[in-house]
Amino acid sequence: MELPFLFGTLEDRGAVAFTGRSAGRETLSRALQQAWTQFAWTGRPHTALWPDWPPYACPERATLLIDVDTVLGHDPGGRHRMLWDSLGFGLDDPDADAVAALLFGSD
């Protein structure tokens, strides 16, 4: 999904099917290109169009939620992450209720 924004090919027929034609697409594309360029030069994906994005570390889990209105989130989807953490990998008998709550929501 991000490739048309990264390469500035938003008007390609195949890209429009995924990106649509909403306002802000060009600005988002420029911001993504600037961020990747800065990342290549400095190791830090920064652009003046986005909030400062500190390195990822626990427990803050700073995550940039890239969209037309890009925001900095802290542990987005944390509830789901904690559930997956609680399941563990390689367990023979995961908690079926926890998996169902993750997949289908809980009441």
Closest CA to 2 of 61, 46, 65, 74: 65
Q: Compute the average pLDDT of residues 23-49.
A: 93
The pLDDT of residue 52: 92
Whether the predicted pLDDT of 102 surpasses 60 = yes
68 with 30: CB under 8 angstroms?
A: no
The pLDDT of residue 57: 93
Taking each helix axis from N to C end, the angle separating 96-104 and 78-87, rounded to the nearest 10 degrees, works out to 150
Whether the predicted pLDDT of 19 surpasses 60 = yes
More confident residue, 93 or 40: 40
Whether the predicted pLDDT of 25 surpasses 60 = yes
The pLDDT of residue 22: 87
Give 46-93 pLDDT, tens digit per residue.
899 999 999 999 999 999 999 989 999 999 999 888 888 777 665 556
